[in-house]
Amino acid sequence: MLAVFTFPIWIFSARTIDRLGKGIRNSARDALLSDESTPQIKGKVFGFHRGMDTLGAAIGPVVALIYLYFYPENYKWLFVIAFAPGLIAVALTLFLKEKRIVTNPKEKNIGFFSFFQYWNQSPKNYKMLVIGLVSFTLFNSSDAFLLLMVKEQGYSDTQMISLYIFYNLAYAILAFPMGHLADKIGMKKVLIFGITIFGIVYLLFGLSSKLTILAMLFGLYALYAASTEGISRAWISNLASKEKTATAIGLFNTLQSIATLVASSLAGLIWFKFGATPVFIISGTVALGVALYLTVFIKEYK
């Protein structure tokens, strides 16, 4: 659709459908990962997935940069090329064998938003964890703001994209080891460590315009992502009953997506009114507060 469409409203529709697809697939995918693992190795399983997913996110821009070097501004065919791996990914799902789940006959006729009812049925520790993570997300704006900050400091598009590729590569390399570490020492410790790293990175971001310092901060940002993205979902899947794993993760994803929309909108407004520095200071400070909340109020569950 992005290769064919030209008008802004059509492109907006294509991106909306893309996000709809992500919303549909993510919870089901995480539930499948949870079903194929045990609580003792779940950190490694989710970490491995995040590593492979992010490796693709690093390879994609590299291929795009090479293509655009030889065919400048020829974006239409770039989207056509990107369509092929998407088809392959869909085809590969046909080879998955899903474990049969015995459902409650009373739950056959359920409404589209009935998953919100899970909140009342969920364990206390699930609620406390989700509250902490969603509060963190409310002040965790899109990664695009980091790239925008790099751009504002006078670096070229190629340098900006190179930093993003470096971040994704570092994230891909670190995701599995951090998942393995979470299985060993506990998901709570690794998650708190990651959120603390986020707070430090955001407080330091913008204080220096040197490319080497920015690269170091993007490396630390990759460590944060590797310590939180997959591990938070692995921990949530451990807290939910086996038959409610997808629902538990889906509710979390829904609340997190709403919080992300609010966070990026607020960040854009603050950036427009007061500049970039307040955005990073507020986000970094809140992140450290959430790390403290998780330390004090969430019980230790692996």
Helix H or strand E segment including 40: none
pLDDT tens-digit profile of 226-256? 999 999 999 998 888 888 888 888 899 889 8
Across all residues in the chain, what is the average pLDDT?
86
Task: Please count the other Cβ atoms lying within 10 Å of the Cβ belonging to residue 87.
Answer: 9
pLDDT tens-digit profile of 134-144? 999 999 888 88
Residue carrying the six token digits 């869909």: 90
pLDDT mean over 92-100: 82
CA 279 – CA 67 distance, rounded (Å): 35
What is residue 52's predicted lDDT score, i.e. its pLDDT?
Answer: 93
63 with 247: CB under 8 angstroms? no
User: Is the alpha carbon torsion for 189, 191, 193, 196 positive or negative?
Assistant: negative
pTM comes to: 0.85
Tokens linked to 215? 């690269």
What is residue 172's predicted lDDT score, i.e. its pLDDT?
Answer: 93
3-state secondary structure of 297: helix
pLDDT value at 292 more than 90: yes
Q: Which CATH architecture has domain 8-105+122-297?
A: Up-down Bundle (1.20)
